[in-house]
Amino acid sequence: MLNAERRTSHIRGTRHAYTFAMAAPAQMITPWPERLIRELEANDQRAKSLAAQLTLEQLNWQPAPGAWSIGQCLEHLAIANELYLDAIAAALEGESGDAVQSIAPGWFSRWFIRSFIEPSPQTKRAPAPKKIRPNSQVPTTVLDRFLRSNEKAREVVRRAAGCNVNRIRFKNPFIRGIRFTVGTGLEIISGHERRHLLQGDNVRSAPEFPRMTAAVVL
């Protein structure tokens, strides 16, 4: 009887240990997903402050021939997000486990982000790929489209949180032959948004930007 009780106790202990070991990865909280989600939420608020109250004329006003309007900046971001996120989500299919504590881009990815993505005096100017160039005129619904793309971005971040985003690579929809890691791709989305939202801020602060006129009450 005593031996039977010992065996039962051992089995119960093993079961509890197994349950704990299986539950631990699901409970693991890594800092990078929370950071990226905060950045994307901040970009949402910035876009709303920038464009929510604009008229169609203001949304499409260009500071110079060939320069983008606020609406074009938002449409460019929405299209780029949609294509990038589809590619990243496809790469995450069937992946799970092996979560990492931080995103660690390689040297080329760091150079690419520093040179072409993050807003800074060192950022290089390059023409946008044809598939993500905005239309000449943008509807007022463009803000909602951008916000929807950011909601999807947060969903992809949550999905990727449990994976090794420094190992999994996705098919780049813009640059053939270059496959960034999922982690790098998510960093690019956040930084790319900051760059063009700053561009939109600069458009709105231009002295020639059309201001709303007060209605005349007769």
Tell me, yes or no, whether 7 lies in a domain.
no
Is 3 within a domain? no
3-class DSSP assignment, residue 117: helix
Report the pLDDT value the prediction gives residue 153, as an integer from 0 to 100: 98
For residue 214, the SS3 value is coil
Does residue 61 carry a pLDDT above 50? Answer: yes
Contact in structure between 37 and 157 (CB atoms under 8 Å)? yes
What is the model's pLDDT at position 148? 98
23 within domain boundaries:
no
173-189 residues labelled b (16+ CB within 10 A) or e (exposed): beeeeeebbbbbbbbbb
Confidence of residue 128 (pLDDT cuts 50, 70, 90): confident
Domain of residue 164, CATH code = 1.20.120.450
Question: Residues 70-83: pLDDT tens digits?
Answer: 999 999 999 999 99
- 131: exposed, middle or buried (Cβ count in 10 Å: 0-12, 13-18, 19+): exposed
Number of domains in the chain: 1
Residue 218 forms part of a structural domain: no
Residue 13 lies in a domain: no
In a domain, 194, yes or no: yes
Percent of the chain, pLDDT > 70? 82
User: How many whole angstroms separate alpha carbon 28 and alpha carbon 109?
Assistant: 27
pLDDT digits (tens, 9 = 90+) for 143-180: 999 999 999 999 999 999 999 999 999 999 998 889 99
Burial bucket for residue 88 (CB in 10 Å: 0-12, 13-18, 19+):
buried
Structure tokens at 157: 């971040």
Return the structure tokens found at 141. 């619904």
In a domain, 8, yes or no: no
The pLDDT mean for the chain works out to 85
pLDDT at 182: 98
Q: Which domain holds residue 170?
A: 30-204
State how far the alpha carbon of 186 is from the alpha carbons of 6, 89, 144, 150, 198, in Å: 52, 11, 21, 11, 19
The burial of 77, by beta-carbon neighbours within 10 Å (0-12 exposed, 13-18 middle, 19 or more buried), is given as: buried
Q: What is the pTM of this model?
A: 0.82
Indicate whether 35 belongs to any domain: yes
